A and B are shown apart, each in its own frame.
Chain A
Amino acid sequence: MLKIKNLKAKIDGKEILKGINLEVKPGEVHAIMGPNGSGKSTLAAVLAGREIFEVTEGEVEYLGKNLLEMTPEERAKEGIFLGFQYPIEIPGVSMVNFMKTAVNEKRKYHNQEPLSAAEFLKLMREKKAVVEIDSNLTNRSVNEGFSGGEKKKNEIFQMAMLEPKLAILDETDSGLDIDALRIVANGVNKLKTPENATIVITHYQRLLDYIVPDVVHVLYQGRIVKTSGKELALELEEKGYDWIKKEVEQES
């Protein structure tokens, strides 16, 4: 469903992604790991359409379409969801208003009637239960004053509301306590179908005990330098990244 070929992107003249190749098929879970600053969030942002990154080379095909030509909102309505590493606080915009607008814009795009107020509230209630999110949070402004963990849960709540085909979760596990981690992971698993796929960006093997990946990639210095099965995560946990960095240096 997603084919990334030789993707290069830069910001302020600095090349961050230096030729990414990645293919994700329906039903798959891919994990992307890698040292800080290697370009994981940049890749996620480019896939979601963040315009401050300039794509200089490469192609991205998503469900047969050229993803790079689409606006962020089109991508979202076509089923891409980005769980932000650092969710944004938006004072004055209520969660309810935000989600209602998002859900109905998506419905409109797919030629569906907008949800009535009652239907919408019912949907909210259901999805809140999935991520066991506190009711009070959805009565507040988007992420405003949310704790780190609450923000992450809120990302999964939004994901549950929007039912994406391809979810890219950027360090959704960091900052979560053990219970929250389980809840979030369960949330992701509940939303899993044979048609949709997930890319989880993480530093910790722990998350992958819950969300079991089919493939694990290591992103380093703007390239995917290693791809393997889920055992790679365990190996990284144990040994760190030094051996991979060495391998890369030897090759070049």
Chain B
Amino acid sequence: MENQVLADINTIFIDRFKNEKSVLCEGSSELINSHREKAFEIFQKTGIPTKADERYRYITLDPVFRVDYKSYLRKRDILFNIDDVFHCDVPNLETHTILLVNGWYHDKENQLTSLPGGAVIGSFMAAAQKYPRLFEKYYGKYADPNTDGLTALNTAFAQDGIFLYVPKGVILDKSIQIINILLSDEDVMAQPRNLFILEENSQAQIVVCDHTLSSQRFLTNSVTEIAAGKNSLFDFYKIQNEHNGSVQLSSVFINQKKASNVVSGVITLHGGIIRNNIHVKLEEEYCENSTMGLYLSDKGQHVDNYTFIDHASPNCTSNELFKGVLDDYATGAFTGKILVRKDAQNTRAFQANNNILLTDDAKINTKPQLEIWADDVKCSHGATVGQLDDNALFYLRSRGINEKEARMLLMFGFTYEIMNKIKIEPLKIRISNLIEKRLRGELSRCNSCVMNCREC
């Protein structure tokens, strides 16, 4: 059944590619288009992942794709001022803010913006035209379309997204905030493609906020490639706050060169079905990586995190921490693969996934997958699934804190470990406020939006 539906869906994508190839290629650089062809061939063979793929065992993708989404293969004008309807207020956070609307870079006049030190931020499509040599060196180098059908599909259809380039030795002191907006009068599928390049000794911080601003169904299948050069420092936080009729499939590929340090965190507040694929390759020695995730889900939400940490060189450290609170009949999955290759001696790889189920109907599947070929390895993994600690609950109540508030404090306390790892202080405060609101049930995705859409 699943396979049949998916086969039909694959056919739709294949036909669309063939029929609309000229529109797809319009405006994209030659390199992008050549990758497109190769990825399409792969997609024809692999298709959308099914449950037969062990990595996708806990997610059912066929109903996700069954909706008749529109894909905008050309940029559409949005007929209002985005500032009027939306402000993602991270107070005191000085940022360069950029907008992506339905996967397209929003600012028509300034497709590429220069930042201090020769850094550039802007449209992926425009950057590919302007910086062919950078794209030659980095594009498609980490997100191999053979990884899975989603990566292949994105690569086949990739047109626009965000591009960041931070040259050697440049430190961006302001964070970059990317606001991903989904907004339309019809159901839409978007496939943004992002490329972030940090050269040797550079530093940057990116905060991505995903929002739906209208009640239509949205499907995002995004791919982000991050090249962290030698000694670079990169922080990448993603806050997912979309309505429950939306689906987000996000694949992030991080490649780390010698002694680089990358922190990535995904905070899932709302969203119908969310799948995060995080691939990290510690390609050279002395890298540090910290990958974390927090998911707070309820109703029929499904949050699925898949991580793959590839220790390909000696003397690297990776730290993974994923935590979740699941309410109602929400479901979730965490699969954490760690590969320590033969030569990766003196590897330290730590992984933990802790979950709290607030009801009997909420479910989580958690699975570490360790593949270790080197001998000198310090590796640990632990998964817990439990309820709120009854003794702690009584302790708080015995001090006069009512049960609801006590539960709230415990849940909030549970998330603190993740929050504490966020290095951008104002962002930490903002996220902790959002989390508190979310746990109190006061946060709707419409929080910062004046439009009236569906119930979350």
Contact = CB atoms under 8 A, between A and B. Distances in A.
Nearest to B406: A73
A84 interface: yes
B108 interface: no
A48 B394 CA distance: 9
A90 B391 CA distance: 10
Contact of B410 (A90, A105, A106, A109): A90
B392 A90 contact: yes
Interface in A87-113: 87-93, 97-98, 101-102, 105-106, 109
A33 interface: no
A39 interface: no
A50 B395 contact: no
Contacts of B415: 92
A77 B398 contact: no
B395 A102 contact: no
Contacts of B401: 73, 98, 101-102, 105
B397 A49 contact: yes
B405 interface: yes
A158 interface: yes
Given A73-B402, A102-B400, A92 B391 contact: no
B398 A76 contact: yes
A105 B398 CA distance: 12
A40 B414 CA distance: 32
A89 B398 CA distance: 14
Contact of B397 (A52, A71, A93, A97): A71
Nearest to B420: A92
Contact of A162 (B400, B410, B416): B400
Contacts of A102: 396, 399-401
A42 interface: no
A87 B395 contact: yes
A32 interface: no
A84 B399 contact: no
Contacts of A82: 398
Contact of B413 (A50, A93, A106, A162): A93
B409 interface: yes
A120 to B, nearest CB: 15
B142 interface: no
- On chain A, which size bracket covers the interface? 20 to 34
B242 to A, nearest CB: 27
A240 to B, nearest CB: 32
Contacts of B397: 49, 71-73, 76
Contacts of B416: 91-93, 141
B399 A141 contact: no
A81 to B, nearest CB: 8
Contact of A98 (B389, B390, B402, B409): B409
A84 B398 CA distance: 10
A89 B392 CA distance: 7
A69 to B, nearest CB: 15
B398 A72 contact: yes
Nearest to B404: A73
Contacts of A76: 397-400
A22 B1 CA distance: 70
B412 interface: yes
Given A88-B392, A90-B395, A90-B396, A105 B402 contact: yes
Contact of B405 (A50, A71, A90, A105): A105
Nearest to B405: A101
A77 B391 CA distance: 19
Contacts of A49: 397-398
Interface string A229-243: 000000000000000
Contact of A84 (B395, B403, B409, B414): B395
A90 B413 contact: yes
A208 to B, nearest CB: 25
Contacts of A91: 413-414, 416-417
A48 B412 CA distance: 25
Interface in B398-453: 398-403, 405-406, 409-410, 412-417
A93 B403 contact: no
Contacts of B392: 88-90
Contacts of A105: 400-402, 405
B399 A93 contact: no
B400 A106 contact: yes
A71 B403 contact: yes
A12 to B, nearest CB: 15
B414 A92 contact: yes
Nearest to A83: B398
Contacts of B399: 76, 98, 102, 158, 162
B416 to A, nearest CB: 3
Interface string B259-284: 00000000000000000000000000
Contacts of A72: 394, 397-398
Interface string A136-177: 000001100000000000000010001000000000000000
Nearest to B417: A92
Interface of A: 48-52, 71-73, 75-77, 81-82, 84, 87-93, 97-98, 101-102, 105-106, 109, 141-142, 158, 162
10 contacts: A71-B397, A87-B395, A88-B389, A92-B413, A93-B409, A102-B396, A102-B401, A105-B405, A141-B416, A162-B399
Given A73-B397, A93-B409, 15 more contacts: A48-B394, A48-B398, A71-B402, A72-B394, A75-B398, A88-B389, A88-B391, A89-B392, A91-B416, A92-B412, A92-B416, A92-B417, A93-B416, A97-B409, A162-B399
- Top 9 closest pairs, chain A to chain B, by CB: A92-B413, A92-B416, A76-B400, A93-B413, A72-B397, A102-B399, A88-B395, A77-B400, A106-B400
